[in-house]
Amino acid sequence: MAAETVEGAADASTPAQDFTPVHRCRFVQHTPSAIVAMAYGPVLPTPADQQGQPSAAVAAAVKRMRLLAVARANGDIELWNPRGKAWFLERTIPGSPDSPIESVAWVLQPAASASSSGEDGNDSDSDAEAGMQEKAQAPSAAAPALPTPRLFAAGLSGHIVEYNLATMQPRNSTDSFGGPIWCMAANHAQTHIAVGCEDGFIRIFRIPPADDSDSPLEFVSTVEKQAGRVMSLAWHPSDKFIVAGSVKNTIRKISVATGKTIHRMSLDTVRGEDTIVWDLRVLPPPPAVPASGTPQLSTASETIVAADSLGYVTFWDWNTATLRKRVKAHGADALCLAANAAGTRVFSSGVDRKVVEITLADVTGPAAATATPAAAFGSKDGLDGPASNHAAGKRAPVSKMSWILSGQKRYHSHDVRALIYIEDRPFDALVSGGVDASLIFSTPTAAFARMKQQRMPTYPHRPIVSVASSARLVLARFEDTANVWRLGSVMQSDLLAPALLQDHQRLTHSAHKHLITIKFKGRTNLCASAISNDGQWIALSDLHTVKLYRVALNAESDQPSIKRVKHFPESSSGALALVFTSDGQRLVAAGVDGCIRVVSLDTELADSMAVVVELLRPSSGASSSLSGQTLGGSLDLDASQAGSLRDGAAVSSLAVSHDGKWLASGDVLNRIHVFNLETHKLQATLPVFHSLHTSLSFHPTQPTLIVTCTSNEFYLYDVEAARLSDWSRANSHRLPTRFLERRETIMGACIDPAKPTRLVLWGASFMCTVDLAHTLQPAASAASAPTGAEKRSRSDSAPTQIKKRGSAMSLDASSASATTPAAQEGDDSDDAAAADETFEQRTTQARRTKSRSGRSQRVFRPRQALVLDSATSGDRKHHRNTAPPPALADFGFRMDHRFQAIMFIGFAGSDMIVVERPVLHVLAALPQAFYKHKYGT
């Protein structure tokens, strides 16, 4: 455990007494769980198996629904959203360590008819799922009915579970009656699911239609039993056959209609040990390109690809079940496979941590360099006999295609257990994960040698840490426990002479102290936690139960006592988000049913906690209103509020203002509502942003809501005026492009209570302070991204300087064109009016434009990009010896990269709290990785 340090963080240009103590906390020992399976979807079913082709509108809507499901060893399923500057962990479905997951699968089925959808309030969950990631607006009458994405998971509990994506609860569960399930796969038509069980049987289930999704899966048949458990499955593109791998060094090709084995393929063994087939894929036939140049389907057959425990990746002919190629790709077990849609590239990984690319290539030489893949299978090693070309009157050279190992990379420190290749522009990526719990996205996928990795944080994007600012306590939530620490304090001797303090100087301080460990006994892992401002209340919740604890702090013994409140309202279910009001008198809980409940804590400990009000958020098609219910009756509602319905979409964010008057909530549909806790009515509904919101927080002294988004934009919303604040109207469209184009996503925001104009934005690897007292310089409009020549020609008139101090960096920029004195002084009334007028239109501002090279690229806003300082070497040397101009130094943005793997940033009084979890600390808690000694090393 890293010791807590306290630093004085003061800018050199500010007075010496204006400093902020920073507590760098590394005592939160969060150890993530291993990644065991991944699935990207949903995807449209195979057109050949459908009655009609989907419309372009349906195909586009399905693409916007797609998420990456990542299953972890503790039973959690993470849903990652690709729409933003980087992949964002949108939500987590809590699981249970007693029910580990081995496989996940997406299924997409046609939705119910448009006439029956949306008329019954009970269908709101399905409507929320079908419209997830879309703007929350009522569909037009002519809009086609969208299919419904469905997520299935199976594991060692022996059950196939379908999850409700709106409430994140299990929708139904089906017992396989075959013991633990080791693998699962849906067919290409997405009508059936096959599972491989411990008893050696493969069981096939029919998926009920989307309008009957609450019904469990329907058992269809079992196939011929094999010796040992079934470890891997793959469907043939025709859905008439299944390929299964076992722990007894065999691969079987099975007919779905008869359930009998057609072919059996045997693998090599070593020293009498059985070879395990860890993963299987069925590749389509390689495309044939005839002399006319028109692509056609080759008459060659499919290829079976297997990864085994000997480290080999083997390729088998589908028709004859004979071995075509065996590649020694790994020094230990090859655990996972991935392939492109064309079937010409295969990726594998396993225990030795390498990610290997195997490519179908021409190995004959220069004479056959122009031969097509179809001709390759015409060789004596092919499938269709000799191929000839009589156009020139003589036999053409016959090329020979073979699978070769074309590249390898090592991104992970431990076993890689899951690998997936995403072909979905612009989200193309090779995604890998394993025992080290790191999710890595490698791009671009077109060239393996030029792939660059992006490592995601090993902890949730939405913080699991909360702070009791008055009591100076830190609460951290884990799978089934919660820990509380007391922060240390700075010694007064260091504060006697603040003028002598240096920037980021280590101060003498007392050590932190661990106070409480709460063991939560629930049915799932914890999904929400909160601590009151005075530290006297702690709330924990899983998907089924909210538990409230009363903490009595003893100043003399420093050993607090804790007691659970036994009479918490039983009518309330589990909560996805929890927050206390600043006075500690009320608890706000966002239930899994989409309802927000306000619980009064101003009672005796032995009495029952009373639910003051249930806040029902407006549904997608309802007006911006609120209906409320109390235990004693209904609130007074006006005509516009009477039609509001409970929506059911999961609430992902909650925030309460410091005066306890305002409550803000954000859900997975990206809708943000603000409620008045005094009148229990809806105050405002924010416009739906074009990118997902990542956090909500209130200004400590103003009724202003701060919203951060995955696009790295942030907005300040005046709650009382029900519009953007003056600063946001004038500056939200002027944010520096270098800041917006960062791949790291903003994970949170807070205001320094000692300086209310200082906004702190933070992500996993950076902290940015924004001075709200300054007005950003206007940026010139640009219809497309500037070229290199335009950047160079513009650099003399609009220099951008990077001021470095240690590892900190401040972004400074000036306008590209001369501005009037009024504009330089902050007269931005015209810009503010324009920003306010077009605010809602900017939510759909992503357009495509053509660059000079003719290739399309996405432009999000007409803003001139900031470029790095392009001065000559002599000018740079001059800048290092002279201070930057005051106008540039006061730009307002200051980046700081001193901190590592930031989990949380907040304030306890005037002290800043930074909770870190360095990657090396995570790796130290993991088991020893595979190591194979090489001679001479």
pLDDT at 937: 61
Give the distance, in angstroms, between the CA of residue 693 and the centroid of all CA atoms in the same chain.
12
Helix then strand count (H, E) for the chain reads 11, 65
870 within 8 A of 799, measured Cβ to Cβ: yes
Measured in degrees and rounded to the nearest 5, phi and psi for residue 810 equal -115, 135
Closest to 96 measured CA to CA, from 33, 185, 183: 33
pLDDT at 827 over 60: no
d(CA 211, CA 196): 27
Number of alpha carbons in the 13 Å side-chain half-sphere of residue 664: 28
pLDDT at 396 over 60: no
pLDDT in tens, 263-295: 999 999 888 789 999 999 999 987 664 544 444
Handedness of CA 246, 252, 254, 259 (dihedral sign): negative
SS3 907: strand
Residues 557-574 have a mean pLDDT of 77
Residues 737-741 have a mean pLDDT of 87
pLDDT in tens, 6-20: 444 444 333 444 678
Strands, DSSP E only, in 581-687?
586-591, 595-600, 610-616, 627-630, 633-634, 651-656, 662-667, 672-676, 681-685
d(CA 251, CA 280): 9
Taking the whole predicted model, whether its pTM rises above 0.75 is answered as yes
Confidence bin at 602 (pLDDT 50/70/90) = confident
How many residues make up the chain in this entry? Answer: 937
Confidence bin at 344 (pLDDT 50/70/90) = very high
Handedness of CA 844, 846, 850, 852 (dihedral sign): positive
pLDDT in tens, 426-435: 899 999 999 9
With tokens 């820990």, the residue in question is: 483
Handedness of CA 717, 722, 724, 726 (dihedral sign): negative
Neighbours of 225 (CB within 10 A): 12
Measured in degrees and rounded to the nearest 5, phi and psi for residue 386 equal -65, 145
pLDDT at 42: 87
For residues 334 and 932, the model is more confident at 334
d(CA 117, CA 135): 18
pLDDT at 151 over 90: yes
**Minimum mean pLDDT among 149-163, 581-595, 803-817, 843-857: which range?**
803-817
Neighbours of 790 (CB within 10 A): 15
CA distances from 440 to 70, 443, 457, 763 (A): 12, 10, 9, 17
> Is the preceding omega at residue 139 within 30 degrees of 0, hence cis?
no
Structure token pair of residue 605: 């400990």
Residues 296-308 have a mean pLDDT of 78
Structure token pair of residue 849: 């434009």
Q: What is the DSSP letter of 90?
A: E
pLDDT in tens, 125-135: 444 344 434 43
Residues 333-346 have a mean pLDDT of 95
pLDDT at 702 over 80: yes
Number of alpha carbons in the 13 Å side-chain half-sphere of residue 56: 0
d(CA 725, CA 842): 17
Amino acid identity of 473? L
For residues 780 and 783, the model is more confident at 780
pLDDT at 52: 56
Confidence bin at 230 (pLDDT 50/70/90) = very high
pLDDT in tens, 796-817: 433 333 333 333 333 333 333 3
For residues 851 and 544, the model is more confident at 544
Q: 493-498, long-range: CB within 8 Å, 24+ apart, which pairs?
A: 498/8, 498/16, 498/17, 498/19
Closest to 414 measured CA to CA, from 357, 346, 338, 349: 349
Q: What is the DSSP letter of 45?
A: P
pLDDT at 272: 79
Mean pLDDT of the chain: 77
End-to-end CA distance of the chain: 32
pLDDT in tens, 67-103: 999 999 999 999 999 987 789 999 999 999 888 999 9
Number of alpha carbons in the 13 Å side-chain half-sphere of residue 767: 26
pLDDT in tens, 309-336: 999 999 999 999 999 999 999 999 999 9
d(CA 448, CA 27): 39
Strand partners, 183: 196
442 within 8 A of 396, measured Cβ to Cβ: no
Q: Which residues of 843-879 are buried (b: 16+ CB within 10 A; e: fewer)?
A: eeeeeeeeeeeeeeeebbbebbbbbeebeeeeeeeeb
223 within 8 A of 252, measured Cβ to Cβ: no
Handedness of CA 636, 640, 645, 648 (dihedral sign): negative
Q: What is the DSSP letter of 122?
A: G
Closest to 595 measured CA to CA, from 560, 553, 546: 546
**Minimum mean pLDDT among 113-117, 171-175, 765-769: which range?**
113-117
